[in-house]
Amino acid sequence: MNAKGKVFKYPDNVDTDVIIPARYLNTSNAKELALHCMEDIDADFVKKVSAGDIIVAGWNFGCGSSREHAPLVIKTCGTGCVIAKSFARIFYRNAINIGLPILECPEAAEEIAAGDNVSIDFDTGVITDITTDKVYHAQPFPPFIQNIIKNGGLLASLKKEK
Amino acid sequence: MSMTMTQKILAAHAGQSSVTAGQLINAKLDIVLGNDITTPVAVNEFKKAGFDGVFDKDHIAIVLDHFVPNKDIKAAEQSKQCREFACLHCISHFYDVGKMGIEHALLPEQGIVTAGDCIIGADSHTCTYGALGAFSTGVGSTDMAAGMATGEAWFKVPSAIKVELSGKLKKNCSGKDVILTLIGMIGVDGALYKSLEFTGEGVAALSMDDRLCICNMAIEAGAKNGIFPVDEVTLKYLEGRSERKPIIYEADPDAVYESTVKIDLSTLCPTVACPHLPENTRPASELGDIKIQQVVIGSCTNGRMEDMETAYKILKDKKVADGVRCIIIPATMQIMRECVERGYVTAFIDAGAVVSTPTCGPCLGGYMGILAEGERCVATTNRNFVGRMGHVKSEVYLASPATAAASALTGYITEPEEV
């Protein structure tokens, strides 16, 4: 599994309220919700994002609410991966459960710049900044979590085990 | 192998004699919780996965609290979806308008959660129930769906930070000042993936409402859970209330903690978290003349009876300052009823405040008190992120009910002592 695209860069502590403001949570329709992805931190994100693009952010990405709508809108917009220095734990869990690829890599998150072209190999955890020609190594997921992702999310995984 | 209190509860629910930090386990769940925002997503996933029944209708709680009474047509559709699911699966703990309350005030009040439980909830403030000596943590809707189907959830066993409390809170200080102070000390990701285990001789003097408020905001330091030891205060609270027999777990005396934070409660002062992160804490007395247009007293953090009593003592026979909208929201119908019986509602109205039926409404910028561009609010809620209560250029200052009520009277951020 791979991802390749241009980078949108954000700071530390990007919270779920700016990823998908609660004023839109009166629906669970992913496509409708995705129209407002990142709206309160970057109103142009939805207009500019293309399939495969990559979000790069600082520490504690996805802090705040447990709303699964947050990873869901990022995925629905076509985002190929989120790379951050660290993730808030509920966001981390939700991303795995719904199948949004995420990688923790402080060095890559620090150095990769907005607009860079980046490619990712999820099997090896290798992140390549094509623009700067630099390579980073993210920690791959533990086997337990790899298994959930391989099966297509938590529920698909549970069904398979049944 | 020595264990923390959290690790002991997790081990027991995973059917193991001991667990260690970092270990992946499957644990049996005592309660699986959802609300009117997160349950619809869970119901969709539950159906998509083809599950035909829930693991136990008596161990699932669905509470309509975020956008009810329904704020618009779409919210009404979401409530309806929750109602139909609850009806179809005969969910015994389903709380609709008239019976509902804000979930994290309601579940402890109704005795649905108890000491020794292992609980997940599709709401980040599910960590509140650690106040009762339970392991309780927030998850997403997919985890809720899986929990409803199987009665189990996977966890990575957390390590812990020990928070040693000593001394006694001064007048005008409460649990909110304790947790804001702690978040200010360790930061919004200071306890990421970890437990916050509260301990020390200072615990005994903290009321259950204070403990619920403190554990409620553990997530605001990134924590997986917050937890208090079970003592006389806990047992007295649970007596005659708890549906299941409380089970008491204690941390081993030689349990290993990642770090220890010490807080002398007697040194704390009324504390405010300034925009736009809960870690931006300052003593209320140092904030000078910050004009406000709104005050909100309520939420899963501070909508309990003691919070209402504090607001009443400050607001009675006084007037809310001109130019300030003061919104008071008792967190459950039982609390609301008691506010009526004790004459608090009359006093609030006479002071120029409005009183709403229970709702999460303004806390998350849903409805019932949305801020316009450039407006400021002092709120007893839990988050002050950009746009949290309305316009992206509005500001939320987090404070205790005492500080919020005092600020309502003056129109600027004010220490309770000043009024």
The span from the CA of B337 to the CA of B307, in Å, is 15
Residues B248, B320: one domain?
no
Q: Are B74 and A27 a contacting pair at CB < 8 A?
A: yes
pLDDT at A162: 65
Which among B78, B122, B145 has CB closest to A66?
A: B122
Q: Are A17 and B74 a contacting pair at CB < 8 A?
A: no
CB atoms within 10 A of CB B292: 25
The span from the CA of B150 to the CA of B130, in Å, is 23
Residues B281, B238: one domain?
no
Interface confidence (ipTM) of the complex: 0.95
List the one residue out of B220, B133, B138 whose CA is nearest residue B396. Answer: B220
The span from the CA of A67 to the CA of A63, in Å, is 10
- A95: which chain B residues are within 8 Å (Cβ-Cβ)? none
Between CA A81 and CA A88, with CA A83 as vertex, the angle to 5 degrees is 105
Residues B222, B307: one domain?
no
Q: Are A94 and B140 a contacting pair at CB < 8 A?
A: yes
Enter the tokens of residue B27. 């644990």
Kindly report the CATH number assigned to the domain that includes residue B369. 3.30.499.10
**A142: closest CA of chain B, how far (Å):** 10
pLDDT tens track, chain B, 419 positions: 899 999 999 999 999 999 999 999 999 999 999 999 999 999 999 999 999 999 999 999 999 999 999 999 999 999 999 999 999 999 999 999 999 999 999 999 999 999 999 999 999 999 999 999 999 999 999 999 999 999 999 999 999 999 999 999 999 999 999 999 999 999 999 999 999 999 999 999 999 999 999 999 999 999 999 999 999 999 999 999 999 999 999 999 999 999 999 999 999 999 999 999 999 999 999 998 899 999 999 999 999 999 999 999 999 999 999 999 999 999 999 999 999 999 999 999 999 999 999 999 999 999 999 999 999 999 999 999 999 999 999 999 999 999 999 999 999 999 999 99
CB B401 within 8 A of CB B315: no
Q: Are A86 and B364 a contacting pair at CB < 8 A?
A: no
Q: Are B188 and A60 a contacting pair at CB < 8 A?
A: yes
Interface check B222 vs A, CB under 8 A: yes
**A66: closest CA of chain B, how far (Å):** 5
CB B355 within 8 A of CB B343: no
Enter the tokens of residue A75. 């995925």
Give the domain range for residue B248: 5-264
CB B416 within 8 A of CB B173: no
Annotate A19-53 with DSSP letters as a single string: HS-GGGTT---HHHHHTTTTTTT-TTHHHH--TT-
Count how many domains chain B has: 2
Q: Which amino acid is at B152?
A: E
Residues B227, B286: one domain?
no
Residues B94, B240: one domain?
yes
The span from the CA of B66 to the CA of B264, in Å, is 36
Q: Are strands A126-129 and A117-121 parallel, antiparallel or unpaired?
A: antiparallel
- B364: which chain A residues are within 8 Å (Cβ-Cβ)? 17, 22, 65
Domain residue spans of chain A: 2-161
Enter the tokens of residue B150. 């199987």
Domain boundary among B246, B264, B282: B264
**Residue recorded with tokens 């409660």:** B265
Task: Please provide the CATH number assigned to the domain covering A2-161.
Answer: 3.20.19.10
Residues B389, B313: one domain?
yes
Pick the residue from chain A with its C-alpha nearest to B388.
A17
Q: Are B366 and A67 a contacting pair at CB < 8 A?
A: no
Residues B40, B102: one domain?
yes
Which A residues, 114 through 133, put their C-beta within 8 Å of a C-beta on chain B? Answer: none
List the one residue out of B230, B258, B250, B260 whose CA is nearest residue B6. Answer: B250
- A100: which chain B residues are within 8 Å (Cβ-Cβ)? none
Per DSSP, what are the bridge partners of residue B195?
B160, B225
**A95: closest CA of chain B, how far (Å):** 9
Residues B243, B307: one domain?
no
Residues B220, B109: one domain?
yes
Residues B41, B161: one domain?
yes
Interface check B361 vs A, CB under 8 A: no
Interface check B386 vs A, CB under 8 A: yes
Which A residues, 81 through 100, put their C-beta within 8 Å of a C-beta on chain B? Answer: 86, 88-90, 93-94, 97-98
B161: alpha, beta or left? (left if phi > 0; alpha if psi -120 to 50): beta
Could you give the C-alpha distances from B51 to B38, B71, B78, B82, B401, in angstroms and in order?
18, 31, 20, 16, 44
**A59: closest CA of chain B, how far (Å):** 8
Interface check B193 vs A, CB under 8 A: yes
**A37: closest CA of chain B, how far (Å):** 14
Q: What is the 3-state secondary structure (H, E, C) of B175-241?
A: HHHHHHHHHHHHCCCCCCCCEEEEECCCHHHCCHHHHHHHHHHHHHHCCCEEECCCCHHHHHHHCCC
Domain boundary among B264, B296, B322: B264
Residues B62, B184: one domain?
yes
Domain boundary among B231, B264, B297: B264
- A155: which chain B residues are within 8 Å (Cβ-Cβ)? 45, 48-49, 142, 145-146
- B139: which chain A residues are within 8 Å (Cβ-Cβ)? 66, 90, 93-94
Interface check B277 vs A, CB under 8 A: yes
Task: List b or e across B396-411, with b for residues whose CB sees 16 or more CB atoms inside 10 angstroms.
Answer: bbbbbbbbbbbbbbbb
Interface check A107 vs B, CB under 8 A: no
Q: What is the pLDDT of residues A16-64, one digit of tens each?
A: 999 999 999 999 999 999 999 999 999 999 999 999 999 999 999 999 9
Residues B186, B55: one domain?
yes
Enter the tokens of residue A74. 């990022």
Angle between helices B333-341 and B344-351 (to 10 degrees): 80
